[in-house]
């Protein structure tokens, strides 16, 4: 709580080499909003400040883990696939007999659908609260594990398919190449990676910000499609994964932008 009347940037000044986000809730208000430059913070107002070291992926991931524990780990979060995700699952996921890994599974929104009529599915998420919620009511053949997508606690070559959907790769901003290397490691030769990535028009990547009513912050990297192509071509040149023709589904999201899909194959 603020104890004096001052601009937000005076109470929480910028620091060299640090990205600062200021969230503000006026006294008596029910939700937080952005505290822009010049916003006057009065006695009794709440000011939440996030400071992330520029270029440090771990800071972004830790901030997002706080958001996920509060937002996705709580009861009431919808657990249904988007229409484009349902189309992708029917087109790209075998009906049965496949070993399927989903990283950044959150509260298990998609893991039951990935099981279809007989796949063995493992959902992995960094946030224990999300995994606890995902485990409640999970159907037979679906398991959930707390784990870091940058260093999966899994043996080599154990899966036929590995997925990271709904721009969850963007939430791991700065660690995308490391995560894809881990997915390649845990796939059998010929296994596939499926990515659902949000895109927006524009000349360059950008880090988008999402704010919950009660002051939790999520940051996600969004790439124009041309940048995604270049990035995945660089991954392909590293040798473990081969870029495949793109799956067809596409889907808009209410908060803007469109999710499209990409596929890669684990080389022998």
Measured distance CA(6)–CA(232) in Å, rounded: 47
* Strand 142-146 versus strand 120-125 pairing type: parallel
Query: What pLDDT was estimated at residue 49?
Result: 95
Domains of the chain: 1-54 (no CATH), 83-266 (3.40.50.150)
Residue 18 CA to chain centroid, in angstroms? 22
Q: Which residues contact 268 (CB under 8 A, 6 or more apart)?
A: 189, 190
Query: What pLDDT was estimated at residue 3?
Result: 60
Tell me 55's DSSP state.
T
Say if residues 239 and 184 touch (Cβ distance below 8 Å).
no
Query: What pLDDT was estimated at residue 78?
Result: 62
pTM assigned to the model: 0.93
Query: What pLDDT was estimated at residue 138?
Result: 93
Mean pLDDT by 10 residues, the chain (268 residues): 78 94 95 94 93 93 95 76 97 98 96 97 97 92 97 98 96 94 98 95 88 95 92 96 97 91 97
């Amino acid at each position: 709580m603020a104890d004096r009347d001052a601009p937000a940037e005076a109470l929480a000044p910028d620091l060299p080499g640090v990205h600062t986000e200021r969230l503000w809730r006026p006294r008596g208000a029910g939700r937080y909003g952005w505290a822009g430059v010049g916003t006057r913070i009065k006695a009794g107002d709440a000011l939440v400040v996030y400071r992330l070291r520029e270029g440090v992926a771990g800071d972004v991931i830790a901030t997002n883990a706080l958001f996920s524990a509060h937002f996705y780990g709580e009861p009431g979060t919808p657990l249904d696939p988007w229409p484009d995700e349902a189309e992708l699952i029917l087109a790209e996921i075998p009906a049965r007999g496949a070993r399927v890994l989903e990283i950044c599974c959150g509260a298990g929104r998609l893991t039951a659908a990935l099981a279809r009529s007989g796949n063995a599915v493992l959902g992995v998420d960094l946030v224990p609260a999300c995994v606890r919620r995902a485990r409640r009511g999970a159907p037979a053949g679906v398991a959930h594990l707390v784990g870091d997508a940058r260093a999966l606690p899994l043996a080599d070559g154990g899966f036929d398919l590995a997925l990271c959907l709904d721009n969850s790769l963007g939430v791991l901003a700065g660690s995308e190449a490391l995560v894809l290397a881990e997915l390649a490691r845990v796939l059998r030769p010929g296994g596939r990676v499926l990515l659902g990535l949000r895109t927006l028009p524009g000349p360059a990547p950008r880090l988008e910000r999402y704010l919950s009513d009660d002051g939790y912050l999520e940051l996600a990297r969004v790439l124009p499609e041309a940048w995604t192509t270049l990035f995945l071509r660089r991954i392909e040149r590293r040798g473990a994964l081969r870029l495949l023709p793109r799956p067809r589904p596409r889907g808009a999201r209410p908060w803007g932008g469109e999710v499209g899909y990409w596929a890669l194959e684990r080389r022998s």
